[in-house]
Amino acid sequence: MTAALPLVTLVLGGARSGKSRFAEEMVEAQGNGLYLATAQAFDEEMTERIAKHRNRRGDNWETIEEIREIVAVLEREARPDRPILVDCLTLWLSNLLFNDLHAGEEIQKLADLLQSGTLRGPVVFVSNETGLGVVPDNRLSRVFVDAQGDLNQLVARLANRVVMVTAGLPNVLKDQT
C-alpha cells in the first residue's frame, strides 16, 4: 500500500531535473489524478513540451488548463479521493507577471487557501528553483527570479512536504506528515 500524500507537497528542481515526472509518479501512486496545467504555448518548442507532458501522462489523468486563476480551480476541484498536480508555479507566476496581472493578489489568495485549512484534498505543486544560477543581467529577469524565490519560500513554509529533485533524484527537504 502506498502512503497517502500529505495535504500540500512542493516539488522543486531546475529545468530538466525530473521534477515533473517525479511529481506525476507521486500522484499516480494514489490512483487517478487531476493535472492542473499552467503552461501557454507561444512557440513551437513550447507546444512540443506540452505535447510531451500530455503523452507521458496517458489517459489516467483529467486535465484542466488554467494559466491564471489556479486558486479558484483548487477550491472547486480539490477532494480527498483525487490528488491535484499543479505544474507549474513558475509558469503560473510568469503568466501573472508578464500579463500585468496582480501577481501579489493571486499569490496572497494561494497563501490564504493553504493556511485556511479549507483545502479539501492533496495538492502537489511543481516549481522551478530559479535562484541557483548566475544573477540575471537585466532588471526584468532579476524581478522574476526574486518573485519566484519568494513564491517558493512561501509555499515551502506552508507545505507539509518539500522535495528537491536533482538529476532525477529526489531529496526530501521537509516532511511534516
CATH code given to domain 11-175? 3.40.50.300
Q: Measure the CA–CA gap between 157 and 167, rounded to whole angstroms.
A: 24
Annotated active-site residue 53? The verdict is: yes
Give the three cell numbers for residue 134.
548566475
Evaluate whether 34 touches 84 at the Cβ level (below 8 Å). Answer: yes
pLDDT tens digit sequence for 73-132: 999 999 999 999 999 999 999 999 988 777 899 999 999 999 999 999 999 999 999 988
Q: Domain boundaries in the chain?
A: 11-175
pLDDT tens digit sequence for 8-67: 999 999 988 999 999 999 999 998 899 999 988 778 888 788 788 777 777 789 999 999
pLDDT tens digit sequence for 118-136: 999 999 999 999 988 788 8
Which one is catalytic: 21, 53, 68, 109?
53
